[in-house]
Amino acid sequence: MKLWKIVAVSALVISGSAFADSSSDRGRPDHGHPSTGLPTFQTTNWNSEIQIYQDGKSNYAGATQSSAKKSLTDISQQGDKNSATTIQTGDNSLIDVNQKGHFNNAYVNQSADSSKVLISQTGFANSATAQQHTSGTLTSVTQVGFGNVAVTNQ
How far is C-alpha 72 from the geometric centre of its chain's CA atoms? Answer: 8
Residue 124 has pLDDT above 70, yes or no: yes
Q: What is the mean pLDDT of the chain?
A: 80
| Residue 36 pLDDT grade (very low, low, confident, very high; cuts 50, 70, 90) | very low
**93/114 Cα distance (integer angstroms):** 5
Higher pLDDT, 99 or 10: 99
Query: Which of 66, 63, 71 shows the shortest CA–CA distance to 113?
Result: 71
Burial class (CB in 10 A: 0-12, 13-18, 19+), 127: middle
Residue-wise pLDDT tens digits, 50-108: 999 999 999 999 999 999 999 999 999 999 999 999 999 999 999 999 999 999 999 99
Residue-level pLDDT at 45: 63
Residue 152 has pLDDT above 90, yes or no: yes
Q: Does pTM top 0.75 for this prediction?
A: no
Residue 29 has pLDDT above 50, yes or no: no
SS3 103: coil
Q: Which residues contact 94 (CB under 8 A, 6 or more apart)?
A: 31, 39, 41, 71, 72, 73, 74, 115, 116, 117, 118
| Residue 11 pLDDT grade (very low, low, confident, very high; cuts 50, 70, 90) | very low
Query: Which of 94, 99, 82, 85 shows the shortest CA–CA distance to 142?
Result: 99
Higher pLDDT, 133 or 45: 133
